[in-house]
Amino acid sequence: MEERLTKFINKKHRLLPGFNLTLGVATTYLGLVVILPLSTLILKTAQMGWGDFVNTVMAPRALAAYKLSLITSLVSAMVNAVFGLLVAWVLVRYQFFGKKIIDACMDIPFALPTAVAGIALCATYSSNGILGSYLYAWGIQSAFSPLGIIIALTFIGMPFVVRTVEPVLKDLDKELEEVAASLGANRAQIIWKVIFPTLLPAWITGFTLAFARALGEYGSIAFISGNMPMKTEIAPLLIMTKLEQYDYAGATAIALVMLGGSFVLLLFINGLQQWKQRRTFNE
Amino acid sequence: MSIKIEHVIKNYQDYLALQDINFEIQTGELIALLGPSGSGKTTLLRVIAGLEVPDSGRILFNGEDTHSKAVQERKVGFVFQHYALFKHMTVFENIAFGLRVKPKKQRLDEKSIQEKVNTLLKLVQLDYLGDRFPKELSGGQRQRVALARALAIEPRMLLLDEPFGALDAKVRKELRQWLRDLHQSLHITSVFVTHDVEEALEVSDRIVVMNEGKIEQIGTPDEVYHHPANTFVYTFIGNVNMFRERSNGRVSYIRPHQLEICRSSVDDTYLESHITHIHMAGPLVKVLLTDSLGHSFQVDISQEDFHKLALQKGESVFVRPKSESHLVQDYAI
């Protein structure tokens, strides 16, 4: 009886049929494309013993790589969050000559092979590059340094914030600003108290995407970082080095840590976002 | 506060939204801007609020030119059709918004803000919903929050853009009665835009009838209904039948309730017609008829008269004006 009852409750009437089918396809797809390859990562790593795993994963060189990856990714995502918001604002709110071109340029980091980006950035920021020559003269080492890595990651992650914030900004009800103005709010108050809270969820999503992208980036960093162990070696590069030395288990062990770390971080940010959305807006 | 509108003109790229608008609103009046869509009524309201800048002309508040005053300085309470509530704030914070954004020197302390918002919540009968979010409220409740938010800044006037347009019929009726009562107790100069004739007639002290960017008539609901200034107002306000005389092509207008139906004719003022349809529901019976020329028109008669005459669909009857004076000849255009 009880079983029947739960069955009855679970079987909701749906206007569009195909819940089972679509859910089945979705999980199969996710399984084949994401879960299966990732599980081989665990299998491969399992070939090494527990002791070896800890030694590999906790090696000073690996720790330095995680730390560098995390910090540079965070900094670049934050830079993108600020300037991406600004770019989205300009693209949505103003009409100017060349807007279409700027709009199209925003997507270049999406499409460009990352190695090409790396070469281009190297040519710009190295000591004899167009910008680099000036920066080096000022004592700023803009290539083969953590700063170089941040520059490359910023380039790669820029479209994420712009493209997630843009549609929300476009749909923003003009009446909200008008009503705020009629209630006496000045420009800054309208932006800070009305527009920004509305954009916040999309903005955080954009930040998260840029951050996640930066964590996994490899191609554009390979050139500009210089790959100095303990100094400018990010985790994906360390994995690559291990692969080149045929240390497959070592490479997957590091990869597993990166994966776990990213997963926890992304869960945390998503949770933060949901909490923020539910929370009462108080000053 | 009195509002004077002088020679206001507003052009949009493709059309003239306001063509030389002139009128005055007295302190404490409740004015309806009535007209079909595209008549410029909303544009006029936005110009008064300072949300649009007129191409030429002046708006005077208590005799003072407002031209250099931004929306923020005008102290007008503006209410939108779709409420425009801040979704990320509670009802309480929505209402407190205007109080919190004031410059530090003029801002009330937190306790006074709390008191004031609570008073306003009581005024709009929502004191138990202060900590809800807008999405948790019904349309009528949302519009009352919007109104309370506008009243919080103690505006010098209240401007409402189709305030009940998005609500269902029953709530709309309740809310407009409530607005009428509220206005009676607060006596704040108010202007509301509507395309609903009944709403304008029921709620306002005076109606400004607009069409194609011009004012067609300004008057009390009684004046506008019983003494329409021109054909447009006549046809726009309430139901009207139009009769064209065969001999000279002249057009006459008469309202459905000003006609009567008889079983027999006495002289040639009676018009022989066919009953094509009968609507029984409501206080009046609406009888649709067609005359010998094929023109259709409507007569409203009381339930009593209807039963006395025992009218049937398809019957031939005679129709005439209850009094000759009701028949209005076409205006010279």
* Nearest chain B residue to A174, by CA: B84
User: Within an 8 Å CB–CB cutoff, is residue B165 touching chain A?
Assistant: no
Distance CA(A87)–CA(A158), nearest Å, equals 10
Which residues of chain B are within 8 Å of residue A186 when distances are taken between CB atoms?
72, 101
The predicted pLDDT at position A283 comes to 32
Question: A26 to chain B, minimum CA–CA distance in Å?
Answer: 31
User: Within an 8 Å CB–CB cutoff, is residue B152 touching chain A?
Assistant: yes
pLDDT(B268) > 80? no
* Nearest chain A residue to B81, by CA: A175
- For B306-324, the pLDDT digits (tens) are 888 888 888 899 998 887 6
Average pLDDT score over residue span A11-21: 74
Compute how many other C-beta atoms are within 10 angstroms of the C-beta atom of residue A88: 25
The predicted pLDDT at position A282 comes to 37
Which residues of chain A are within 8 Å of residue B89 when distances are taken between CB atoms?
281
What proportion of chain A, given as a percentage, has pLDDT over 70?
A: 92
User: Within an 8 Å CB–CB cutoff, is residue B84 touching chain A?
Assistant: yes
- B265 and B272 in contact (C-beta within 8 Å)? yes
Confidence of residue B264 (pLDDT cuts 50, 70, 90): confident
For residue B200, give the DSSP letter.
Answer: H
Q: Is B56 exposed, middle or buried (0-12, 13-18, 19+ CB in 10 A)?
A: exposed
The predicted pLDDT at position A170 comes to 92
Which range among A53-67, A201-215, B233-247 shows the weakest confidence by mean pLDDT?
Answer: B233-247
Average pLDDT score over residue span B274-286: 90
For residue B330, give the DSSP letter.
Answer: P
Domain residue limits at A145? 57-282
The predicted pLDDT at position A222 comes to 84
Contact criterion met (CB < 8 Å) for B153 and A197:
no
Compute how many other C-beta atoms are within 10 angstroms of the C-beta atom of residue A186: 14
| Interface mutation vs chain B, best among A173, A174, A178, A183, most B CBs within 10 Å | A183
pLDDT(B326) > 70? no
- B299 and B289 in contact (C-beta within 8 Å)? yes
The DSSP bridge partners found for residue B208 are B33, B218
Structure tokens given for A149:
């890595």
Structure tokens given for B164:
């009940």
Which range among A122-131, B4-13, B50-59, B94-103 shows the weakest confidence by mean pLDDT?
Answer: A122-131
Confidence of residue B226 (pLDDT cuts 50, 70, 90): confident
Confidence of residue A6 (pLDDT cuts 50, 70, 90): low
Question: B210 to chain A, minimum CA–CA distance in Å?
Answer: 24
Q: Max CA-CA distance within chain A? A: 82
User: Within an 8 Å CB–CB cutoff, is residue B80 touching chain A?
Assistant: yes
User: Within an 8 Å CB–CB cutoff, is residue A180 touching chain B?
Assistant: yes
Measuring CA to CA, which residue among A41, A26, A64, A204 is closest to residue A146? A64
User: Within an 8 Å CB–CB cutoff, is residue B76 touching chain A?
Assistant: yes
Distance CA(A34)–CA(A197), nearest Å, equals 34
- B99 and B153 in contact (C-beta within 8 Å)? yes
Confidence of residue A37 (pLDDT cuts 50, 70, 90): confident
pLDDT(B78) > 90? yes
Distance CA(B107)–CA(B123), nearest Å, equals 22
Confidence of residue A228 (pLDDT cuts 50, 70, 90): confident
In a domain, residue A277? The reply is yes
The predicted pLDDT at position B330 comes to 63
Distance CA(B50)–CA(B138), nearest Å, equals 30
Average pLDDT score over residue span A229-252: 88
* Nearest chain A residue to B85, by CA: A176
Contact criterion met (CB < 8 Å) for A182 and B152:
no
What proportion of chain B, given as a percentage, has pLDDT over 70?
A: 97
Give, for B302, the enclosing helix (H) or strand (E): strand B296-302
In a domain, residue A187? The reply is yes
In a domain, residue A51? The reply is no
- A214 and A236 in contact (C-beta within 8 Å)? no
What proportion of chain B, given as a percentage, has pLDDT over 90?
A: 52
The predicted pLDDT at position B1 comes to 86
pLDDT(A19) > 80? yes
The predicted pLDDT at position B101 comes to 93
Structure tokens given for B120:
């306003």
Q: Read off the pTM.
A: 0.80
Which range among A4-13, A38-47, A77-86, B110-119 shows the weakest confidence by mean pLDDT?
Answer: A4-13
Which residues of chain B are within 8 Å of residue A189 when distances are taken between CB atoms?
101
In a domain, residue A43? The reply is no
- Give the torsion through C-alpha atoms of A145, A147, A151, A157, to 10 deg: 100
Per-residue three-class SS string for B62-90: CCEECCCCCHHHHCEEEECCCCCCCCCCC
Structure tokens given for B93:
């914070």
The SS3 assignment for B93 reads helix
Distance CA(A193)–CA(A165), nearest Å, equals 17
Residue numbers of B between 124 and 143 with CB closer than 8 Å to A: 131, 133
Contact criterion met (CB < 8 Å) for A198 and B88:
yes
Distance CA(B246)–CA(B164), nearest Å, equals 44
User: Within an 8 Å CB–CB cutoff, is residue A189 touching chain B?
Assistant: yes
The predicted pLDDT at position B245 comes to 72
Q: Render A219-267 in DSSP notation, one character per residue.
A: TTHHHHS---TTTT--HHHHHHHHHHTT-HHHHHHHHHHHHHHHHHHHH
pLDDT(B244) > 80? no
Residue numbers of B between 236 and 295 with CB closer than 8 Å to A: none
Which residues of chain A are within 8 Å of residue B49 when distances are taken between CB atoms?
182
Contact criterion met (CB < 8 Å) for A184 and B98:
yes
* Nearest chain A residue to B152, by CA: A183
Contact criterion met (CB < 8 Å) for B78 and A176:
no
The DSSP bridge partners found for residue B45 are none
Q: Residue A258 belongs to a domain with what CATH number?
A: 1.10.3720.10
pLDDT(A28) > 90? yes
Confidence of residue B9 (pLDDT cuts 50, 70, 90): very high
The predicted pLDDT at position A278 comes to 63
pLDDT(A44) > 70? yes
Would you say the C-alpha torsion A258, A263, A264, A269 has a positive or negative sign?
Answer: positive
| Interface mutation vs chain B, best among A175, A182, A277, most B CBs within 10 Å | A182
- B206 and B3 in contact (C-beta within 8 Å)? no
In a domain, residue A23? The reply is no
In a domain, residue A5? The reply is no
Tallying the residues shown for chain B, one arrives at: 333
The predicted pLDDT at position A281 comes to 42
Which residues of chain A are within 8 Å of residue B51 when distances are taken between CB atoms?
178, 181-182
Measuring CA to CA, which residue among B146, B170, B160, B164 is closest to residue B83? B146
In a domain, residue A14? The reply is no
Confidence of residue A46 (pLDDT cuts 50, 70, 90): confident
pLDDT(A16) > 80? no
The residue ranges of DSSP E strands in chain B, in sequence order, are 3-11, 16-25, 30-34, 56-61, 64-65, 76-79, 157-161, 189-194, 206-211, 214-219, 241-244, 251-254, 259-262, 271-279, 284-291, 296-302, 316-321, 328-329
The predicted pLDDT at position B291 comes to 87
Give, for B208, the enclosing helix (H) or strand (E): strand B206-211
The predicted pLDDT at position A4 comes to 61
Question: B7 to chain A, minimum CA–CA distance in Å?
Answer: 24
Which residues of chain A are within 8 Å of residue B133 when distances are taken between CB atoms?
280
pLDDT(B161) > 90? yes
Q: How many domains is chain A partitioned into structurally?
A: 1
Measuring CA to CA, which residue among A81, A97, A94 is closest to residue A196? A81
User: Within an 8 Å CB–CB cutoff, is residue B114 touching chain A?
Assistant: no
User: Within an 8 Å CB–CB cutoff, is residue A115 touching chain B?
Assistant: no
In a domain, residue A35? The reply is no
The predicted pLDDT at position B332 comes to 41
